[in-house]
Amino acid sequence: MTDLTCDELDALLAEFLDGTITDDQRDAALAHLATCDACTIVVTEMRGVGALFRQHGRLRLPDAARARIRAQLEAAEQDPTS
């Protein structure tokens, strides 16, 4: 596959970002990105969305809830009939 258009790259984008496309498709996508600033910006921003959420949007179960649920599970593991 050679000379992808922007629309063709767009159709491959999810698999390109996930690294699940074929080597030929990846090479064609990279070749397109090397010459297309607009698609390069889209790809960079798409990757940035995931990174933004991983860094700032992942939550930690509050300590009080963690302790309460852990104690509940441990008690049930000790006494499966309860």
Partner 1 sequence: MTAAASPTVTSLFEEFADGIYTLGYRLTGDRQLAEDVVQETFIKVMRSLSSYRGDGPIAAWLYRIGYREAIAVTRKRKDEPTEPDTMVYLADRSDDDVEREIVSRELAAVLDAAISSLTPPLRAAFVLRDVEGLSTVEVAAALDASESAVKMRLARAREALRVQLKEYL
How many Cβ atoms are within 10 Å of 16's Cβ, its own excluded? 20
Structural contact between residues 31 and 12, judged by C-beta atoms closer than 8 angstroms:
no
In whole angstroms, how close is the CB of 78 to partner 1 at the nearest point? 11
DSSP class of residue 81?
T
CB of 55 to partner 1, least distance (A): 9
Upper half-sphere CA count for residue 44 (Cβ side, 13 Å): 8
Give the range of 1-9, 21-29, 30-38, 65-73 binding partner 1 by CB under 8 A: 65-73
Q: Does 75 bind partner 1 (CB under 8 A)?
A: no
Distance of CA 76 to the CA centre of its chain: 35
Would you tell me which residues interact with partner 1 (CB under 8 A)? 13-15, 17-18, 20, 42, 44-46, 48-50, 52-54, 56-62, 65-66, 69-70, 72-74, 76-77
